[in-house]
Amino acid sequence: MAAVDIIQETCQMSAERSPVLSYDFCVSSLQVIPLSYTASLPELAVISVKLALVNATATLWKTQKLLEIEASDPKIMACLKDCQELYSDAVPTLENSITTLNSKDYRSGNVFISAAMDAATTCEDGFEVSPLTKQNYDFFQLCDIALVITRLIPSELPFLLPMYS
């Protein structure tokens, strides 16, 4: 199997299993990381969590900048502070998921990822018009990639594990 095939095949199967996951987003996200081309499924799951972690950190930075700009609007300020707290909690939760995924505890990893993933929807729902829509969408998608991949590991793609482990 060609290296790019692991990304495309995994993203195809993942998109088929998730009603919200974008195949194109999955492929374009994983292809940015050179290690993805030769990664096993467990490694792809960790890579997507690390991408979500980078996104969460960038969202925290953007939220801080928006708090400085939107200081005069109390409603937006309150929503931004909520988002800041949500993403501040998501960062260590994702770090915990990486630890559990690396120890092959995929069920616990999924619990952590799902908990962190809620930051995106809760943040987005707080606004009438969110200034963080792209960040929330990307974060949600990256978490979903990891969730679906970890569900593929023990069941439907075992033939890929020996080849890329």
- Residue ranges making up the domain that contains 117: 3-164
Question: Cβ(136)–Cβ(124) under 8 Å?
Answer: yes
CATH of the domain at 41: 1.20.140.40
Spatial separation of the C-alpha atoms in residues 141 and 67, rounded to whole Å: 25
- What are the phi and psi torsion angles at 47 (to 5°)? -60, -45
Tens digits of per-residue pLDDT, 19-65?
999 999 999 999 999 999 999 999 999 999 999 999 999 999 999 99
- Which residue reads 């919200």 in tokens? 20
Spatial separation of the C-alpha atoms in residues 91 and 89, rounded to whole Å: 6
Q: Is the pLDDT of residue 148 over 50?
A: yes
| pTM to 2 decimal places | 0.88
Tens digits of per-residue pLDDT, 109-138?
999 999 999 999 999 999 999 999 999 999
pLDDT of residue 54: 97
| Number of structural domains the chain divides into | 1
